[in-house]
Structure 1
Amino acid sequence: MTQKVLAGPRNVAIVGPYSSGKTTLLESLLYIGKAITRKGKIEEGTTLGDATPEARDRTMTVELNAASAEYGGVRFNFLDCPGSVELQQETDNALIGADAAIIVCEADPSRVLTLAPLFQFLDSWEIPHLIWINKMDRATAPFQEVLEALKTVSSRPILPQQYPIREDQRLVGFIDLITEQAYHYHANAPADPVPLPATLKAQEHAARDEMLEALADFDDHLLEELLEEIEPPQEEIIKDLKQDLGADLIVPVFFGIASDDYGTRPLWDALVKEAPEANATAANRGLEADGDETLAQVLKTFYTPQGGKLSLVRLWQGSLSDGDSLNGDRMGGIYQLMGQQQNSVTQAQAGDIVAIARLDSALTGATLTTHGEPSVELPTAEVLAPVYALAITPEKRSDEVKLTDALTKLMEEDPSLRWEQHGDTHEVILWGQGEVHLNITLDRLRRKYNLPMTTHLPRVPYKETIRKAGKEIRGRYKHQTGGHGQFGDVYLDIQPLDRGAGFSFDQKIVGGVVPRQYIPSVETGVREYLSQGPLGFPVVDVAVTLTNGSYHNVDSSDQAFKQAARIAMQEGLPKCEPVLLEPVDAVEISVPTSFTSNVLKLISTHRGQILGYEGKAGWQGWDVVSAYIPEAEMQKLILELRSLSMGVGTFNWKYDHLNPVPDELRDRILAETSS
């Protein structure tokens, strides 16, 4: 029996907003491609993807799912990506290894804006992409209105290749704009060809003319044919569509109902005829599929309960065989993933996306080679800055030693996570992209690593300083215990410094009234006291000068002078008008222009100072608003921002300066910290 030879592979990412139906579309594609014998349902928890407990609990994709299928003599690798804006990092990392992307969205013009960041990423990386409008049975707006909305978020021409056929507002079929053949859908079966409805001829002709005119912008020969009113051959149209899609010049549009398999077969046909091959993508990245050097890139890291570490990689150049080493790590096996299932293979060729076991040193995004050090570093997706945090504590104190290792593994799986042991508050703080993101992470800590956590919002690292100086503040320590006693005596001047100046210590001792060897101990005592001032917080922007003192030949010691300095600070600092300071962040908020006025109001309600706003570079119809916002007001800012901007608003921030806390807030904060 002759073994079937498949073309390919082609790697296609399935992306789109939460609840658009990406996983349902993947099930339909796999079923029609005979990769699975039965379609699963998200609500029943039976889909090939989304099989982890965290995904099942939320009925949503929470991490990358990989699967493969064959259709039309071509092998396809699919990457089903999370849709939540809080899990965008996972999607970005996967997309850099894709040859093309299917953007799944709903037929709702009011929701199209949620696609803007995705279009921006795809266009900036020049990743070919097409649109599949799902849930057409729920469409309430005309098809043309949906297309017009899509044009507002795409910098490339939107090109429908189909036109819908409706009966009594119900989707029953489509017209192929290449062949001008009409079809009626049938559940779980191919669509039947039917005569073109007379009532749709005018709309179909207009839509087809628009498609051809857009293609003619990139093909002079086609333009000549249209000007001379020559009907272009279908083969020429398909060739132009493939060429222009592969160059990321156009965005073809298809539609259907994934749950009923309506439109999935035409989508399959388009992927076979038009989606770019893996070697073409490699060439666009300046790589050669048959190059001498083996080059691969990690798209996703998994830590599995049984198999340990798995690295999902795109092989850009060369080949891999079981037992090879990558960047010095000997591979523990090569696998083709079908959801959670791992199918062992002995080899991988350029263009393949495979999982490799036990690449201990390989991080997500890393460039890998069998040739020692890679000759090039492949570009990686930008790691998203954190925007939301929780302070976490293991429920069992004995689990604290296991937490660092578990968090390190979680950050390998998801680079948009960060954690820190805060130097001022001494809390372990987990940073991420939002409430859902961190809750998923906490679930993984509990389930995968048996580390249940208690959580709360991080404490604000307040500081304090002083408004006025204190002169000749005396600290005298005398302690008699039988035998040698303890004696130290100092006079200190305390002076406020400019904001941000920090702490300085000086001495103006004359005549040796405080011996030189004890002066460092005086500074130590001062510093120790400043770690918690009269208001209960670290003291900053203060200068202390040792001006006078006395000592005892027998009883004086380092410890005695350190204690004397602490006594002087404890006596003097409360008289210098202590001021509570709060950290203030410099924030840049990015939103569509239609939400800018709402963002300005949001900043004001968070005690922010608006610095200005301007158009966001490279983002048509978006603004960047700059502001100073107190850190205490930042803790839930991302939740409110996403709520008012359809989930697409985001921000970057960095610490900028300290500011006095308003008096009415100061009293409440001090009351809370003392209780």
Structure 2
Amino acid sequence: MSKQPSQPRCCAIVGAYLSGKTSLLEEILFTTGAINRKGNVNQGNTVGDSSAEARAHTMTTQLNIATTSYLEEEWTFIDCPGSVEFMQDTYQALMVCDVAVVVCDPSPEKAITIAPVLKFLDEHNIPHMVFINKMDQPEASVRELMNALQDISEHPLLLREVPIRENGEITGYVDLVSEKAYKWHDGERSELIKMPQAIQDREQEARTELLESLADFDDKLLEEILEEVQPPKSEIYENIHKDLAEDVIVPVFFGSAEHRGGITRLLKALRHDAPEVMQTAEQHGIDTVGNSAQVFKTIHAAHAGKLSFARVWSGHLKDGMTLNGERVSGIQHMLGSEGHKINTARTGQVVALGRLENTTAGQILSEDGETKPPYWPDPLPPMYAKAVQALKRADEVKLSAALAKLNDEDPSLIVEQNQTSGELLLRGQGDMHIKIALERLADRFSMDVDAHPPKVAYKESIRKSATKHARHRKQSGGHGEYGDVHIEISPLPRGSGFSFNDTITGGAVPKQYIPAVENGVMEYMQKGPLGFPVVDISVVLIDGGFHAVDSSEMAFKKAAQTAMREAMPDCSPVLLEPIHNVTIQVPSIYTSKVQRIISGRRGQILGFDAKKGWKAWDEVNAFIPEAELQDMILELRSQTLGIGSYIDQFDHLQELSGKQADQVVNNNNQI
């Protein structure tokens, strides 16, 4: 057996939505004695998911952090959101954990839902185990699920136990290393029993597969297998410990978090096999000299102020210590939403640090403030947006400050000002992501806002040329106003923007007034005859007239606006809609559904190919109108078990005509 580490360790609990992660955390805390009564997700009384929005929607919406001890060793478990809309939290938490437990549903059809998190774990060499939950269901099949999971895992899955069945139901398991059999008892510890004769052949077959998988990474074990020598159990345990730490195998366990089945077995595996904090720091290339910690999550609590959750990589952190130029004001161990003050945090511990106002997730804290993180996950690209506005004008500054705090907590929530419409946009991963953010604005910051779909950045242009003469004259005593212009308006190729020139000769329009003509044209172009900004036109000042006393820059500016207003309707104005280049990423089994989604949204499919580095995933490239993108992620997620995603960027403007154009213009004129 490997030497047991004594420093505090950290484990992330990850998986798909509704896989039972929060129930697993609750059972672990009960089994380890951190709580004396188990809560229930549906009753809203669990340690995790204690926030108002989590309980309102019965789902994990942010990290649940809980520290406990098991067999006199300290563990911090981080229950991560399962919905892909909150994956930013999950990815950041994984970067500070020693090991992850991937919780999955026993249904093979749902295996694909954990593909994104498995890919992240594989890419970043984070040791992980799989825990198949809800195995008390009669239809659960370990063999079928293993095949489905192996299709999406880059590393070999190592089945650590086989199920014992009675009357078609799984009632226990046989450990494939110790070859001991256990029977589950609802709500109690498992009972050691004699291995049923009916399962012995299956146990031997599975044990052989386990040894052969381990032998791929150990020459000595391979020789023993080839020579038909039975390796000692201690050697097998040592291989599992080493291979898990190197992230070359994925041990698989199963059980039932609701009924305590397999929980103690999982805890023992974590205790024996999970790497130490120093190994984790080395794996991520983090300098462990001196006192250092890394922040992975920040929260702006209503009463406690800002809390920075951090993993201590080396040394000790003390209350009042200065880190990165800021004084730590309070250190807490967390058990869900409850914090327990401590004076010192030691290597390996996960703690909440108070009042580090300038600290963001990803930063490494040290006394000299010079340690830089080698890698940190980038914010996920947004796929959904709402335009937000404070209901009270006096709250606009307060709204900006509150949104900045939400972005600090979750970098995948992006706040930006739309340069065309002037709207303040809150962009995120989907409808629920934005909905939860708005609820936090109301509950935590007392901000009442109006939220609605953002305006589409329609533009307009022209198909024909026109020439127009316009004169602005006004006399009201004293100096009057006089400006006379002849302009020629012509269409430009799409994407050319705006061009202004003059062909004035003989001083028909003095040079000092020509810029005023251009300014008048540009001001008019903010809203053309269809009601949208005008693009891709050329305007040439070809002639004009002036008055020695009454002419001014303002007069010529107004004359230019009049000329544009009268000429543009004669230029065959046309509506332009923005088209985005979109790359949709989905499992290959859903590619045909994606093609139908694109066609149904007036899109043009440009092609598709295998997603680089992903097993059985495709990327579909298409041109799709911006108006059709606004809620596309909702349909995409509904057609792909919640895991489809896309990236997009503006590509070009395209003419829109017929009833659709008429409807856009009419709707805009009614605003």
TM-score range, shorter chain: over 0.9
Name the SS of the counterpart of 2:258 in structure 1. helix
- Taking the aligned partners of 1:25 and 1:366, their CA distance within structure 2 comes to 30
Name the SS of the counterpart of 1:138 in structure 2. coil
User: Residues 155-212 of structure 1: CA distance to partner in whole angstroms, max 9, x if unpaired?
Assistant: 1111111111121122211111111111111233321111111111111111111111
Distance 1:139 1:244, change over 3 A: farther
TM-score (norm 1): 0.97
Q: Percent identity?
A: 46
Equivalence for 1:487: 482
Pairing partner for 2:553 from 519, 540, 558? 558
- Taking the aligned partners of 1:144 and 1:178, their CA distance within structure 2 comes to 18
Equivalence for 1:517: 512
Equivalence for 2:346: 349
- Taking the aligned partners of 1:435 and 1:57, their CA distance within structure 2 comes to 15
- Taking the aligned partners of 2:373 and 2:162, their CA distance within structure 1 comes to 44
Name the SS of the counterpart of 1:474 in structure 2. strand
- Taking the aligned partners of 1:601 and 1:287, their CA distance within structure 2 comes to 46
- Are the equivalent residues in 2 in contact too, given 1:72–1:269 (CA < 8 A)? no
User: Residues 380-436 of structure 1: CA distance to partner in whole angstroms, max 9, x if unpaired?
Assistant: 012100000111222333322211000000000111001222122222211010011
Equivalence for 1:572: 567
Q: Post-superposition shift, 1:21?
A: 0.6
Name the SS of the counterpart of 2:145 in structure 1. helix
Q: Post-superposition shift, 1:443?
A: 0.4
- Taking the aligned partners of 2:445 and 2:548, their CA distance within structure 1 comes to 60
Equivalence for 1:27: 26
Equivalence for 2:441: 445
Pairing partner for 2:406 from 391, 405, 410? 410
Structure 2 gap segments, 5+ residues each: none
Asked whether 1:310 is paired with 2:289, we answer: no
1:4-23 matches, within 5 Å, as 7-23=6-22
Equivalence for 2:294: 297
Asked whether 1:65 is paired with 2:64, we answer: yes
- Are the equivalent residues in 1 in contact too, given 2:399–2:447 (CA < 8 A)? yes
Q: Post-superposition shift, 1:535?
A: 0.5
- Are the equivalent residues in 2 in contact too, given 1:297–1:378 (CA < 8 A)? no
1:421 maps to a residue whose letter is Q
- Are the equivalent residues in 2 in contact too, given 1:474–1:490 (CA < 8 A)? yes
Q: Post-superposition shift, 1:282?
A: 1.3
Q: Supply the RMSD in Å over aligned alpha carbons.
A: 1.4
Q: Post-superposition shift, 1:478?
A: 0.6
- Are the equivalent residues in 1 in contact too, given 2:286–2:374 (CA < 8 A)? no
Q: Post-superposition shift, 1:14?
A: 0.2
User: Residues 510-552 of structure 1: CA distance to partner in whole angstroms, max 9, x if unpaired?
Assistant: 1111111111111111111000001100001111111111111
- Are the equivalent residues in 2 in contact too, given 1:161–1:177 (CA < 8 A)? yes
- Taking the aligned partners of 1:137 and 1:358, their CA distance within structure 2 comes to 46
Pairing partner for 2:357 from 356, 360, 366? 360
- Taking the aligned partners of 2:5 and 2:139, their CA distance within structure 1 comes to 41
- Taking the aligned partners of 2:268 and 2:53, their CA distance within structure 1 comes to 34
- Are the equivalent residues in 2 in contact too, given 1:6–1:73 (CA < 8 A)? no
User: Residues 247-287 of structure 1: CA distance to partner in whole angstroms, max 9, x if unpaired?
Assistant: 11111011111111111011111111111111111122234
- Are the equivalent residues in 2 in contact too, given 1:367–1:378 (CA < 8 A)? no
- Are the equivalent residues in 2 in contact too, given 1:109–1:141 (CA < 8 A)? no
Structure 1 gap segments, 5+ residues each: none
- Taking the aligned partners of 2:123 and 2:143, their CA distance within structure 1 comes to 27
- Taking the aligned partners of 2:57 and 2:276, their CA distance within structure 1 comes to 35
- Taking the aligned partners of 1:195 and 1:173, their CA distance within structure 2 comes to 11
Q: Post-superposition shift, 1:288?
A: 5.2
TM-score (norm 2): 0.97
- Are the equivalent residues in 1 in contact too, given 2:7–2:347 (CA < 8 A)? no
Pairing partner for 1:321 from 312, 318, 327? 318
Asked whether 1:268 is paired with 2:267, we answer: yes
Name the SS of the counterpart of 2:529 in structure 1. coil
1:107 maps to a residue whose letter is P
Name the SS of the counterpart of 2:19 in structure 1. coil
Name the SS of the counterpart of 2:42 in structure 1. helix
Asked whether 1:54 is paired with 2:58, we answer: no
1:588 maps to a residue whose letter is T
Name the SS of the counterpart of 2:578 in structure 1. strand
Equivalence for 1:663: 658
- Taking the aligned partners of 1:432 and 1:288, their CA distance within structure 2 comes to 33
- Taking the aligned partners of 1:318 and 1:616, their CA distance within structure 2 comes to 42
- Taking the aligned partners of 1:342 and 1:365, their CA distance within structure 2 comes to 22
- Taking the aligned partners of 2:280 and 2:200, their CA distance within structure 1 comes to 38
1:204-223 matches, within 5 Å, as 204-223=203-222
1:573 maps to a residue whose letter is M
Runs of 4 or more above 3 Å deviation: none
User: Residues 306-344 of structure 1: CA distance to partner in whole angstroms, max 9, x if unpaired?
Assistant: 110011112223332221222211111221111111111
- Taking the aligned partners of 1:257 and 1:372, their CA distance within structure 2 comes to 45
2:624 maps to a residue whose letter is I
- Taking the aligned partners of 1:16 and 1:285, their CA distance within structure 2 comes to 22
1:357 maps to a residue whose letter is G
Equivalence for 2:499: 504
Distance 1:541 1:139, change over 3 A: farther
Equivalence for 1:590: 585
Pairing partner for 1:535 from 530, 548, 551? 530
- Taking the aligned partners of 1:538 and 1:298, their CA distance within structure 2 comes to 45
User: Residues 204-236 of structure 1: CA distance to partner in whole angstroms, max 9, x if unpaired?
Assistant: 111111111100111111111112222211111
1:340 maps to a residue whose letter is S
1:16-415 matches, within 5 Å, as 16-287=15-286, 289=288, 291-292=289-290, 294-374=291-371, 376-415=372-411
Name the SS of the counterpart of 1:8 in structure 2. coil
User: Residues 455-495 of structure 1: CA distance to partner in whole angstroms, max 9, x if unpaired?
Assistant: 22111110001112123x11100111122211110111112
Pairing partner for 1:455 from 433, 451, 454? 451
1:595 maps to a residue whose letter is Y
- Taking the aligned partners of 2:638 and 2:40, their CA distance within structure 1 comes to 29
Distance 1:628 1:436, change over 3 A: same
- Taking the aligned partners of 1:372 and 1:312, their CA distance within structure 2 comes to 17
Name the SS of the counterpart of 1:12 in structure 2. strand
Name the SS of the counterpart of 2:7 in structure 1. strand
Q: Post-superposition shift, 1:664?
A: 2.8
1:213 maps to a residue whose letter is E
Total equivalences in the alignment: 667
- Taking the aligned partners of 1:571 and 1:276, their CA distance within structure 2 comes to 76
